[in-house]
Amino acid sequence: MKTSKKEKLSLFKKMLTVRAFEQKAGELFQQNLIPGFIHLSIGQEASSIGTCSVLRTDDYVASTHRGHGHMIGKGADPRMMFAELFGKTTGYCKGKGGSMHIADFSVGILGANGVVGGGFPIMIGAGLSIKLRKTDQVGVVFFGDGAANRGTFHEACNMAAILKLPIIFLCENNLYASTTPSEYTLAGGSVAGRAGGYGIPGHAVDGNDILEVRNVVEKAVARARKGKGPSIVENMTYRYRGHFEGDPQKYRSTDEIDTHRKTSDPIERFKKHLQKEGILTTELEDKIKKDVTKLIGEAVQFGQDAPLPRPEDALEDLFVNP
Amino acid sequence: MIEITIPKLGLTMERAKLGRWEFSSGDAVKEGETILVIETDKVSFDMPAPSDGIIHPIVPEGITCAVEEIVGYLAKNREEYERIIEEHPFGEAEGTEKVETSQAGAVSQAGQPATMPPSSVGPKGRIKASPLARSMAATNNLALSAIAGSGPGGRVVRIDILRVLEEAPAIAGERVERPPQEISKGIAIKEISESIPIQGVRRVILDNMHQSLSQSAQLSLHTEACAEPLIALRERFSRDGEKVSFNAILVKISAMALRLHPRINASVEGDNIRVWRQVHIGVAMEANDALIVPVVRNPDIKTIREIDHEILELIQKTRENKLSLDDLANGTFTISNLGFADIDFFTPIIRPPESAILGVGRIIKKPSVRNDHVIPEARIGLSLTFDHRIIDGAPGARFLKTIKEMVEDPLLMIS
Amino acid sequence: MSNREISCSTALREALEEEMERDDTIFIIGEDLVAHGGIFGQFEGLPERFPGRVIDSPISETCIVGSGVGAALTGMRPIVDMHFADFVTTGMDEIANQMAKIRYMFGGQAKVPMVLWAPDGGGLSAAAQHSQSLESWFVHIPGLKVVAPSEPSDVKGLIKAAIRDDDPVIFFQHKRLFAQTGHVPEDEYIIPIGSAAVKRPGKDITILTYSRMTYLCLEAAEQLAKEEIDVEIVDLRTLKPLDFALIAESVKKTYNVLIVHEACLTGGFGGEIAARIGEELFDYLDAPVMRIGAKDVPIPFSPVMEDFVLPKVSDVVEGVKKVLNR
C-alpha cells in the first residue's frame, strides 16, 4: 500500500508517542506513583501503530494486558490513559480498571483484557454483530505468542472461519510468553502457520518494519471487509522491558536485549528510512520529539491533577439497572 | 481437652468469683467468644475461649475460686466431651471454696408462679429462648426465667409467651407497673419497688467507702481558681480538632503538685507513714452503674498528651469491661471530677490506703473582681479531702493552693 | 380472557418469538439450534421464523458465551444457549471474568445486555454432568443477575424481562419443568427481575424456594394442611437481585422459615438467605432457620439413588415439622 510523506511522519510521531508514554509510565511506576502492575510494549511500536493505522475509527480492537500502544494507535487520549493509570476518577474507567483494563468504546476499543486470550471470544461476538448488522467494519484481536496456546484461540479461529467473520487475529510474537520462551511453548514454531489448519490465510511479518506491517494488515483488512473471512497476521517483534515492570528477567540476558535494540529497533529503523527518503530533517525530528514530550508531559500532569474517586464510587457502574 | 482455669488478671489477684457462664454444657464455642464472666473485688472480666471446642463447666456460678483453679473444660470433639462429662460431673470441682453460694437473686427478681416451673433454665442459669420470644418478653416486661418453654430442649418460644400473656396478666402487671401515684398520697406503708442485691462491685464499693470514713479522719477544703489559663492551655494542645481533656491536665497538675508536697503522696501502714516514690493517680469513672477508678501511672514524668491517651484507653477498657487488676492497683492519689453534673464543690471520700483526693467542680463563668472591676471569668471549683491523721490542716491547704496556682499559671508546673 | 394452559417450553418459545419480532438486535446462538430447534426442542420454529438470527455454533462454549459478550458490547441483544447448565464450566472465564465484569472494570462505559439460557436440574437420570443446579456459583459473582423461575407464566414474563434488561442475566430453566403446564395470559406482560411471589399464602411457616422445588413444596403444603399446618410458599423467582422485602414481609407474619432448593446443601444459596434472615430478622424468628437441599454428592445415575439424593416432598414435610417442633 502507498503511504504518503505526511502519513509517514504521522506514524513516526505516534510511535514516539507510544514509547514516550511507556517510558514515562515505567518511571512513574518505579517511583511508586502508579499502583498495581503495568506491562510495557517498548520495542513493539511498529506492530501496534502499524496495525491500527490501517483501521477506521468504527473498526473494533480487542487489546491485551500489553495494550498501551494499541490504545494510542486506535486514538485513545493519553491524558485519560494516565489518569486511569493513576487510579483517578477522570481516567477511562474512572479508576476501576487500571493499565490492564483500559477501554475506549468511542473509538472502537473493546478493552484491554487481563485474561491472556480473553479477547478472542469477545471479538467473535463483535464479528458476529458486524455480520448481523450488515456493516463493513472489521475487528482486530491483538494477542501474544502465549495466548496462541489457549483454547480460546483455537475455538475462535475455527468459529471465525466457519462463519466467515471479518476478524484479523493479530499476533505480536515477542518471543516470550510471560517469562517462558515461545520456542518452548509454541508447537510447530509459528502462529501464522496454524492458519492452514483452519483454512484461512496466515502471514508472518517482520513486525519491527512498520511499512511491512501496514502492507500485510491492510491486505487482511481488505479481505475481511469484503466478507471473505478472517486472517492470522503474526508480527515478529521483541519487547525490551520485562513481562511486567519489576520482572527480574532471569530467562534472558541483557546482551540479547541489547542486540535486538541495536539491530532492529522499530523506531530507529523507520527513522533511517525517513531520513533516506529525505522526509525527516534534524530540525523536523527535534520538533516532533518536542511535541511528543510536551504531549506526554501534559498527559501526566492531567493524570496527577485529576481527582481521586470517592471510596464509595466502588459501588457504582456494576449494573445499568441495579 | 483444654482446662478452663481462673486467670490471674493482675499481680495482686489471688481469687475471683465465677460470675456467669455464657454457655451451657455441650454448647460449641468459638475461639475468642466470651465463655465466662469473672468478678474480682475491683472489676468484672469477660474471659474468652482459648480455642474452638465444646464447653463443659464444672463450677457453678457464684462460687469464689482461687487463681489457676479449674472451673471447666473445653473438649475438641463430641467423643472427648462425652468422656469429660463422665469424669467431671457438674458441681464436683475439687478444692472449691464455697464463699458465696446463693445465686437465687440473680436469676429472678420477682416471685415465680408456682404453677410454672422454669424448665427453660439450664443448670447454669442460661435461658433458652427464641429471638422472637426474647423480644416479646422484653416488650412485655416478662422474665424469661419464669416461663416454661415448650420448644426443643425447653426453649421458650412465641407460643409460650402468648400463653403467659393470656393466662396470667397479673404476673406481668405486678412486675411492670409501679403503683399509681394517686394511691401513694394516702398510703402510709412503704412498698418495695425494686430489690437490688448488694454483690460484686457494689459490695466492694460499699465496704470500701465505709472503711474509708471509719478508719481515717477526713477533712475537706474548698477553693476556686481562675480557669481561663486552663482553657487556653487546652486550646493550645488541640491538634486536628482533637482536644486533650481537662482531666488529663489536672492529673498532670496534681502530679507536679505532689512532687512539691511529697508527704501528701503517702499511706498509713501500721506504725509508719509510707511516702511513695512513684506518683500514680486514679481517675474516678462511672462504669455499668458502679464507680471504678483506673490508675494513670507516673503522670509526673509523662506529657499531658500521653496522659490524655492513657485516660482514653482506660475509659475504653472500662466501657468494654476489659480492665485488668493491674489497671486498678497501687494508686497514690485520686481525682474525681463532678463538673459534668454542674457541681461546684463537694467532699470526696479518700480511697484507702491513699491519703488524699482532689474533687474537681465545673468550669463556669462568674463575676470576678480584677483591679476593682467586675469582669466575667471562667472559674473552676477545687475541693481537697485529706487524711487529717497524717496531714495537718496547713500543709493540706498549701498543697491545694499549689494546685490552684498551677491551674491559674500552668507554667509553674515546670518550675 | 382465556384460561389457556401452556407448558414452560411453549411459554419460552412464545416469549422469544414475541421479543425477536419486536427487536431485531436479538439473536440466539448455541449448539444444535437450527436443524434441531435446540437440544430440547425449546426453540422449535424460531430458526424458520427468523432466518440467520438463530445461529448454530460449533461445540465451542468459550466462543458461544464470548460471542454473546462481544455482540452485546457492539449493539446486539444476544441469547446464548448453554445446552446444559452443567457446561457453564467450559465457558466460565467468559462468564465470570468477562460478561460479569466488563461493564464495571471499564467504568460503566459499556453495557452487556445478554441472556445466558441454561437448562439445569436433575430428576432425569442424566447423571453427574447433566443434572446440576449451579445457581449459587453465579450469585457469588458481582455483575450477574440470576433468574430461576418455576411456572410457565413466570418463564414467559421473566425471559422477556431478561432480554430487555441492559445487564447480563443467567436464566436457569429446570429441565424437569419443560412439560409443566400452567395458565399463561395471552396479553403482553413482563415480570420484573428481582420480584418474588407468594405462591401459597399461609400463617404458620414460610418456605422460601425456587425453580422445580416450588412445585414440590406446594405438594408438601397440601399434605401439611391436613395436619392443620398452614404453609406460606414464597417462590423467589430471581435470586439476584433478591426480593428480600417480600421475604421479610412473610417472615414477620409466620416467624418460622424453611428454605428448600434442589442444589446440594453445602454452599448453596439457602445459606445466604438464612444468614441474611439471621442478620436482619433475628427478633422475628421463633426457631432456627432450616434448609433442605440435595445431599452433598454428585447426582447419581440410577433412579433409586437419584431419588434418594434429591429433596423429596416427604423431606419438606419433615423439615416443616422440625422447624415447628411438631
Q: Where are the domains of chain C?
A: 5-183, 197-324
Q: What is the amino acid identity at position B66?
A: A
Which pLDDT does position B177 carry in this prediction? 45
Contact between chains at C108 and A155 (C-beta distance less than 8 A): no
Best CA proximity match to C54, nearest among C63, C69, C44 = C44
CATH code of the region A5-302: 3.40.50.970
Task: Classify domain B200-414 at the CATH topology level.
Answer: Chloramphenicol Acetyltransferase (3.30.559)
From A167's Cα to the closest Cα of chain C, the distance in A is 12
Spell out which residues of chain A touch residue C243, defining contact as CB-CB under 8 Å: none
Return the partners of chain C (3 or more C-beta pairs < 8 Å).
A, B
**DSSP secondary structure letters along B313-339:** HHHHHHHTT---HHHHS--SEEEEE-G
Contact between chains at B134 and C325 (C-beta distance less than 8 A): no
Residue C152 and residue C8 in contact, taking contact as beta carbons nearer than 8 Å: yes
What pLDDT digit, counting tens, does each position of B336-368 carry?
999 999 999 999 999 989 999 999 999 999 999
Residue A40 and residue A241 in contact, taking contact as beta carbons nearer than 8 Å: yes
Identify the active-site residue in C83, C130, C174, C261: C130
Among the four given CATH numbers 2.60.120.260, 1.10.3720.10, 4.10.320.10, 2.60.40.10, the one describing domain B110-186: 4.10.320.10
Query: All 3 cell numbers of residue B87?
Result: 469424669
Which pLDDT does position B42 carry in this prediction? 66
Best CA proximity match to B56, nearest among B80, B38, B34, B31 = B80
The neighbouring-strand residues paired with B219 are: B386
- Kindly report the three-state secondary structure assignment for every residue of chain C: CCCCEEEHHHHHHHHHHHHHHHCCCEEEEECCCCCCCCCCCCCCCHHHHCCCCEEECCCCHHHHHHHHHHHHHCCCEEEEECCCHHHHHHHHHHHHHHHCCHHHHCCCCCCCCCEEEEEECCCCCCCCCCCCCCHHHHHCCCCCEEECCCCHHHHHHHHHHHHHCCCCEEEEEEHHHCCCEEECCCCCCCCCCCCCEEEECCCCEEEEECCCHHHHHHHHHHHHHCCCCCEEEEECCEEECCCHHHHHHHHHHHCCEEEEEEEECCCCHHHHHHHHHHHHCHHHCCCCCEEEEECCCCCCCCHHHHHHHCCCHHHHHHHHHHHHCC
Which pLDDT does position B19 carry in this prediction? 82
What pLDDT digit, counting tens, does each position of C131-178 carry?
999 999 999 999 999 999 999 999 999 999 999 999 999 999 999 999
Residue C216 and residue C126 in contact, taking contact as beta carbons nearer than 8 Å: no
Cα of first residue to Cα of last residue in chain C, in angstroms, is 44
Residue B141 and residue B165 in contact, taking contact as beta carbons nearer than 8 Å: no
What pLDDT digit, counting tens, does each position of B155-168 carry?
999 999 998 888 75
pLDDT at B32 over 50: yes
Cα angle: A27, vertex A29, A34; to 5 degrees: 135
pLDDT band, residue B294 (cuts 50/70/90): very high
Contact between chains at A317 and C104 (C-beta distance less than 8 A): yes
Residue B165 and residue B140 in contact, taking contact as beta carbons nearer than 8 Å: yes
Instruction: Please give the Cα distance from A196 to A199 (Å, whole number).
Output: 5
Place of cell 456460678: B61
The neighbouring-strand residues paired with B28 are: B54
* Segment holding B173, helix H or strand E: helix B169-176
Residue B89 and residue B118 in contact, taking contact as beta carbons nearer than 8 Å: no
The 10 Å Cβ neighbour count of residue B51 is 12
Question: What CA dihedral angle connects C277, C283, C287 and C291, to 10 degrees?
Answer: 0
Which pLDDT does position B259 carry in this prediction? 93
Cα of first residue to Cα of last residue in chain A, in angstroms, is 49
The 10 Å Cβ neighbour count of residue C52 is 10
Contact between chains at A128 and C65 (C-beta distance less than 8 A): no
Q: Which of A6-10, B369-373, C86-90 has the lowest mean pLDDT?
A: B369-373
A142 — contact with chain C (CB < 8 Å)? Answer: no
C-alpha separations of B1 from A19, B50, B68, B72, B290 in Å: 66, 11, 16, 10, 37
* Segment holding B366, helix H or strand E: strand B356-370
Residue of chain C with shortest Cα separation from B159? C286
Task: Classify domain C197-324 at the CATH topology level.
Answer: Rossmann fold (3.40.50)
C325 — contact with chain B (CB < 8 Å)? Answer: yes
A225 — contact with chain C (CB < 8 Å)? Answer: no
Query: Is C130 labeled as catalytic in the residue annotation?
Result: yes
What pLDDT digit, counting tens, does each position of C239-293 carry?
999 999 999 999 999 999 999 999 999 999 999 999 999 999 999 999 999 999 9
Which pLDDT does position A195 carry in this prediction? 97
Residue of chain B with shortest Cα separation from C324? B151
Instruction: Please give the Cα distance from B404 to B256 (Å, whole number).
Output: 12
Spell out which residues of chain B touch residue C285, defining contact as CB-CB under 8 Å: 130-132
Chains B and A touching, counted as 3 or more CB pairs less than 8 Å apart: no
Pairing relationship of beta strands B285-287 and B53-57 according to DSSP bridges:
unpaired
Identify the three-state secondary structure at position B119: coil
Cα of first residue to Cα of last residue in chain B, in angstroms, is 61
Residue B333 and residue B356 in contact, taking contact as beta carbons nearer than 8 Å: yes
Average pLDDT of span C294-322: 97
Nearest CB to A103 within list C75, C106, C111? C106
The CATH architecture one would assign to domain C5-183 is: 3-Layer(aba) Sandwich (3.40)
Instruction: Please give the Cα distance from C44 to C27 (Å, whole number).
Output: 14
pLDDT band, residue B178 (cuts 50/70/90): very low
The domain segmentation of chain A, as residue ranges, is: 5-302
What pLDDT digit, counting tens, does each position of C104-126 carry?
999 999 999 999 999 999 999 99
Average pLDDT of span B299-321: 90
From B116's Cα to the closest Cα of chain C, the distance in A is 21
What pLDDT digit, counting tens, does each position of B70-117 carry?
888 888 888 888 888 878 777 655 444 433 333 333 333 333 333 334
Low pLDDT (below 50) residues in chain A? none
From B257's Cα to the closest Cα of chain C, the distance in A is 54
Residue A318 and residue C143 in contact, taking contact as beta carbons nearer than 8 Å: yes
From B305's Cα to the closest Cα of chain C, the distance in A is 41
Which pLDDT does position B197 carry in this prediction? 72
Contact between chains at B158 and C325 (C-beta distance less than 8 A): no
Which pLDDT does position B125 carry in this prediction? 59
Residue A301 and residue A79 in contact, taking contact as beta carbons nearer than 8 Å: no
Place of cell 515477542: A174
From B25's Cα to the closest Cα of chain C, the distance in A is 20
The neighbouring-strand residues paired with B334 are: B282, B357
Cα angle: C119, vertex C20, C154; to 5 degrees: 45
* Segment holding B5, helix H or strand E: strand B2-5
Instruction: Please give the Cα distance from A309 to B182 (Å, whole number).
Output: 64
* Segment holding B380, helix H or strand E: strand B373-387
* Segment holding A205, helix H or strand E: strand A202-206
**CB burial of residue B186 (10 Å; 0-12, 13-18, 19+):** exposed
Which pLDDT does position B100 carry in this prediction? 37
Higher pLDDT, B16 or C239: C239
Instruction: Please give the Cα distance from C74 to C70 (Å, whole number).
Output: 6
Spell out which residues of chain A touch residue C58, defining contact as CB-CB under 8 Å: 155, 158-159, 162
* Segment holding A42, helix H or strand E: none
Instruction: Please give the Cα distance from C120 to C114 (Å, whole number).
Output: 19
Which range of A208-212, B47-51, B288-292 scores highest in mean pLDDT? It is A208-212
Best to test chain C binding among A65, A107, A128 (most C CBs inside 10 Å) = A128
Query: All 3 cell numbers of residue C2?
Result: 382465556
* Segment holding B118, helix H or strand E: none
Which pLDDT does position A8 carry in this prediction? 97
C-alpha separations of A316 from A34, A228, C69, C104 in Å: 23, 42, 20, 8
B202-211 burial, b if ≥16 CB within 10 A, otherwise e?
eebbeebeee
pLDDT band, residue B179 (cuts 50/70/90): very low
B319-331 burial, b if ≥16 CB within 10 A, otherwise e?
eeeebbbebbbbb
Which pLDDT does position A59 carry in this prediction? 98
Query: All 3 cell numbers of residue C201?
Result: 399464602
The domain segmentation of chain B, as residue ranges, is: 2-87, 110-186, 200-414
Best CA proximity match to C166, nearest among C207, C119, C209, C110 = C110
Contact between chains at C283 and B152 (C-beta distance less than 8 A): no
Which pLDDT does position A30 carry in this prediction? 93
pLDDT band, residue C91 (cuts 50/70/90): very high
Q: What is the amino acid identity at position C49?
A: R
Residue A251 phi, psi dihedral angles, 5° rounding:
-90, -5
Residue of chain B with shortest Cα separation from C252? B132
Q: Are both C5-183 and C197-324 of the same fold? A: yes
Contact between chains at A94 and C108 (C-beta distance less than 8 A): yes
What pLDDT digit, counting tens, does each position of B198-252 carry?
776 777 788 888 888 888 999 999 999 999 999 999 888 887 778 899 999 999 9
The CATH architecture one would assign to domain B2-87 is: Beta Barrel (2.40)
C-alpha separations of B186 from B107, B177, B194 in Å: 34, 19, 21
A7 — contact with chain C (CB < 8 Å)? Answer: no
Contact between chains at A94 and C72 (C-beta distance less than 8 A): no
Residue of chain B with shortest Cα separation from C255? B132
From B160's Cα to the closest Cα of chain C, the distance in A is 11
Which pLDDT does position B112 carry in this prediction? 37
Give the start-end residues of each E strand in B229-315.
266-269, 272-275, 280-283, 285-287, 290-292, 295-297
Instruction: Please give the Cα distance from B243 to B257 (Å, whole number).
Output: 23
Question: What CA dihedral angle connects B347, B349, B350 and B356, to 10 degrees?
Answer: -10
